[in-house]
Structure 1
Amino acid sequence: MSNLNELVGVLKAAGESTRLRLLALLADGDHSVKDLTEILDQSQPRVSRHLKLLADAGLIERHAEGAWAYYRLTPSGQGADLARWLTSRVDPTDPERLRDRARQAEARSAQQALAANYFAQVADSWDLLKTLHVPEAAVEAAVLEAVGERKIELLLDLGTGTGRMLEVLAPAYERGIGIDSSREMLAVARARLVEAGLAHAQVRLGDMAALDSTLGPADVIVVHQVLHYFDDPGRMLAQAKGLLKPGGQVLIVDFAPHTLEFLRTNHAHRRLGLSDEQMSGWANSAGMDVQSVRLFPSDTNDQGLTVCLWSLVDRNKTEN
């Protein structure tokens, strides 16, 4: 329990309109300082000052990624309890809250449009680009090994890109569906699946930020080199969990934390890698546990990227 002065300090930190708006926005998911300044239409120093007060009070957490910083609600403890209690009582029809939500949606749409434009430009050479930085053969073998002898009636590949994971895992599933928001990527994927003779696999156009709940339930969900394109990977993981069968498995391939800012500026990355701590927190919030982690250091030393393979499982449910 907090002493009286500590509790008063926390309440003072939350008891201001802009800071309460920030808490409500962060209850919707992670945001960068840049996003929050645009949504609130306030200066960066002003927003940063409010965020520091909230962080000092233990209501939110800051995670630095290169030149950017991301904020989220504190995941556990008294600060988390109070933040969620407060945000749950914000009137969703309040005019200021409605404006913030509308600007939040605009910001996310703009980010997705940037990524979609990038994918449209690189669709034909996407697989080649990946091999410049990633020990792809080793990662693909590890993904296939991770599913093991599991019976896979339905596999979902979220952010399928050129459909490579559908090809790699083809022997392991009865039916595979790849989802992507880039028509150009899907055109490449369809051609590749036909060429490979994979009649039990298909790809579909879908909004990666708002996945169709009728896609599941799946035995295995693959999220391969996708989460770093999202400001809030936790929201995507929560959606993936909703598409998972009891006892199912989510396989995530992505970069470990790094400092290569050019991937953000030139290649539409939003997050400079994902840490084990972040993954555990996002998995926990979605009701899953990290079962295992494997690391694959880059085979191009000048790039210095490490790829991680996380296997997540549903915490509360088991297979029949």
Structure 2
Amino acid sequence: MAFADDLSDAPLNEPVLATVLIAQDGSLTNLTQTLKAAGEETRLRILSLLAAGERSVKDLTDILSQSQPRISRHLKLLLEAGLIERHREGTWAFFRLSDGQGGSLARSLVSRLDANDPVIARDRVRLDTVRSSNGQVAAEYFAEHAAEWDSIRSLHADDAEIEAAMLALAPASMDLMVDLGTGTARMLELFSRKYRRAIGIDQSPDMLAYARNRLDRAGLSAAQVRRGDMLDLGSELRGADFVVMHQVLHFLDDPAAAIRGAIDILVPGGMLMIVDFKPHELEFLRTEQAHRRLGFSTAQLSGWISEAGGKLTGSVSIGAPARSPDRRLSVGLWTGQVAGGEVRP
């Protein structure tokens, strides 16, 4: 595995030495431990993969073709060195580069890896395969349940209560609304009196067929749906003043990337609205309903929105606790805003 060019020739946002010196507490012992943690081939490969987004232990074992105990040992050393962070969801754990100085050091090292190195290139190909596999599981589920999608949502808090909260917090008027992961197009229907035009994005042809039929029956000519990837939004969606992600994030392999894409298409002062489950422990949703993540905390979403260039502006919790007798889940409603203006009243 090779680094790209000589370190002295590679451009830096800040000098590598300065980044290292402020890692941990700056002591010789801690600096040595941090560099030792990063300076091993498998661990450097892990850092490279995590630089592309959060990954689970299973993802890493599949990509690196190493045993779970061995990968866990490498992750433990990287955690102790402050290079990465861990987020637990039930029996699963997701890892990402640290937001602190250890993460800055890791990014500096990864930026110097030669992208054409055979090992790194193979890891990226396997990463793409894992991403595709994770997406396929969700896509197959959507295709199978397109016509009954609204009824599946009965697992969580009352829809009427959730939708009333959404309407109350949304802008009074919108030029362009974008619904990411539109599903049955219920959100396009819900906000139809507020927008001048609206676009719903979804990857599933079955879902889009159902959505188009719904919009046609409702006579909502100002709304349209199209097939697309919310992680690769086209430039034609830029200029939205309202983006909604309703019960979408928990299916995604990389929720942070989806939030970055949503923030990127908003105008200054535009609003992002996220509705999803609060943290819970219903593991069966992973296997029975293709949930990738078991809910989200306000701190988690606030961090992702901030990293994307926005700020969290509101958080509302709706419904019964996750451990209620009837297993109904609490739902969170979060709003974010892009800097540079005010959301229209």
Q: Does 1:71 align with 2:91?
A: no
Q: Distance in 1 between matches of 2:314 and 2:170?
A: 12
Instruction: Give, in whole Å, the separation in 1 of the partners of 2:146 and 2:85.
Output: 36
Q: Supply the AA of the counterpart residue of 1:114.
A: V
How far 1:243 moved relative to its partner?
A: 1.1
* 1:231 to partner: Cα distance: 2.4
Match of 1:207 in 2: 229
Equivalent in the alignment of 2:153? 130
1:253 aligns with 275
Q: Does 1:193 align with 2:215?
A: yes
- RMSD value, Cα: 1.4
Asked if the contact 1:135–1:298 (Cα under 8 Å) also holds between the matched residues in 2, the reply is no
Name the residue aligned to 2:298: 276
TM score, norm. by length of structure 1: 0.96
1:55 match: 79
Please state if 1:217 is matched with 2:239: yes
Matched pairs, number: 317
User: Hey, what does 2:19 align to over in structure 1?
Assistant: none
Aligned equivalents of 1:91, 1:175: Cα separation in 2: 45
Could you tell me which residue of structure 1 aligns to residue 67 of structure 2? 43
Q: Which residue of 2 aligns with 1:111?
A: 134
Could you give the per-residue CA deviations for residues 71-112 of structure 1, whole angstroms, max 9, x where no partner exists? 01111x221221121112122221111111111111111111
Residue identity (%):
53
2: CA distance between counterparts of 1:43 and 1:132? 36
Letter in 2 for 1:286: A
1-side partners of 2:261 and 2:193: how far apart?
Answer: 26
Between the aligned partners of 1:217 and 1:92, the Cα distance in structure 2 is 34
SS at match of 2:112: coil
1:292 aligns with 2:336: no
* Unmatched segments (≥5 aa) in structure 2: 1-21
Provide the C-alpha distance between the structure 1 equivalents of 2:328 and 2:146, rounded to a whole number of angstroms: 24
SS at match of 2:193: helix
Q: 1:156 touches 1:218 (CA, 8 Å); kept in 2? A: yes
Deviates more, 1:134-143 or 1:264-273: 134-143
C-alpha offsets along residues 201-224 of structure 1, whole Å, 9 cap, x if unaligned? Answer: 010011233222322220000000
Given candidates 68, 74, 87, the residue that maps to 2:110 is 87
TM-score by length of 2: 0.89
Aligned to 1:164: 186
Offset of 1:301 from its aligned partner? 4.2
Structure with higher Rg: it is 2
- Distance in 2, Cα, partners of 1:171 & 1:224: 18
| Residue identity opposite 1:7 in structure 2 | L
Query: Post-superposition shift, 1:133?
Result: 2.1
Secondary structure at the counterpart of residue 37 of structure 1: helix
